[in-house]
Amino acid sequence: MAKATFAAGCFWGVEAAFRQVQGVTNTAVGYTGGNTPDPTYEQVCTDRTGHAEAVEVEFDPEKVPYERLLEVFWQNHDPTQLNRQGPDHGSQYRSAIFTHTPEQQTAAEASKQALDESKKYRQPIVTQIEPASTFYRAEEYHQQYLEKRGQSSCHI
């Protein structure tokens, strides 16, 4: 198994999108990329921890390549919105790819460049690509939040 970590706005919808992908074996929502150890949801919502709401994806690279996960990431949010997605705003909702290996870093940068060159968006892509840091699992009530409520997606 391998890990991938993505931030693309509210983590509930991002998690739901990745759970649909064949070859994904597990997901967890949480917080990463900031400077507050073991933050709570309430702390992250203050926009002072530096953390992004993110999804850690465990996947079988024999069944789903990392590049497919990148496609899902790009398709499920607007990577041109700085520190926001839809009505949610703050750095905790930023667009970011947290890479776990040099190969992921290279693939993420190449996919971002290809998307930028495609001219799909009028605005520049603001997605950050950086090495993964400590991932703090969110409170249990956030895990598979939409599934627990019989919903398949968020407003994004």
Quickly state the pLDDT bin for 143 (edges 50, 70, 90).
Answer: confident
In 3D space, the residue among 53, 79, 68, 88 whose CA is nearest the CA of residue 18 turns out to be 68
Boundaries of domain holding 63: 2-148
Per-residue pLDDT of 12-26, as tens digits, reads: 889 999 999 999 999
45 as an active site residue: the answer is no
Residue type, 1: M
Average pLDDT, the chain: 92
Task: Report if residue 55 sits inside a domain.
Answer: yes
Q: What is the CATH number of the domain that holds 56?
A: 3.30.1060.10
In 3D space, the residue among 72, 86, 50, 51 whose CA is nearest the CA of residue 4 turns out to be 72
Per-residue pLDDT of 99-113, as tens digits, reads: 999 999 999 999 999
Task: Report if residue 156 sits inside a domain.
Answer: no
Task: Report if residue 22 sits inside a domain.
Answer: yes
Catalytic-role residue among 7, 10, 69, 96: 10
Task: Report if residue 49 sits inside a domain.
Answer: yes
Q: How many domains does the chain have?
A: 1
